[in-house]
């Protein structure tokens, strides 16, 4: 059962979460599985994967506060930087340890 709050124009589910938050969390979970299964072999791949995953996470968190766009932008930047660092480290480890 869902209820509609006319003052905020949002729909709440039985769990109390709005449908946009629930949808955002589902997309985040699916995106996380897809992106982490492909790996980050270098800084470029890591930056793209991190930016996409960060944008999804920021979108989900930002939709709770009503600033989904800002959350997605901040998440994309933070995720891109983090993904680039992780991808670079993965590339260095693979180059230094070829038998792994």
- 43 in a domain, yes or no? yes
Question: What confidence score (pLDDT) does residue 73 get?
Answer: 92
- 51 in a domain, yes or no? yes
Question: What confidence score (pLDDT) does residue 90 get?
Answer: 87
Count of the separate structural domains present in the chain: 1
What are the angstrom distances between the C-alpha of 90 and each of 31, 48, 49, 87, 93? 21, 15, 14, 5, 5
Token digits for 51? 């930016």
Per-residue tens of pLDDT for the chain, all 100 residues:
445 555 555 544 455 556 666 666 676 676 666 555 556 778 888 888 889 889 988 888 888 888 888 999 999 999 999 989 988 998 898 888 877 6
Token digits for 25? 């969390």
- 22 in a domain, yes or no? yes
- Domain residues for the domain of 53 are 18-96
* 11 DSSP assignment: E
Question: What confidence score (pLDDT) does residue 64 get?
Answer: 85
């Amino acid at each position: 059962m869902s209820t509609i709050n006319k003052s905020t124009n949002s729909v709440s589910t039985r769990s109390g979460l709005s449908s946009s938050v629930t949808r955002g969390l589902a997309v985040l979970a699916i995106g996380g599985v897809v992106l982490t299964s492909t790996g980050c072999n270098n800084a470029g791949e890591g930056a793209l994967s991190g930016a996409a995953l960060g944008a999804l996470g920021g979108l989900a968190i930002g939709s709770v506060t009503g600033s989904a766009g800002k959350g997605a932008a901040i998440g994309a930047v933070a995720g891109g930087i983090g993904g680039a660092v992780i991808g670079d480290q993965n590339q260095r480890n693979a180059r230094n340890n070829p038998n792994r």
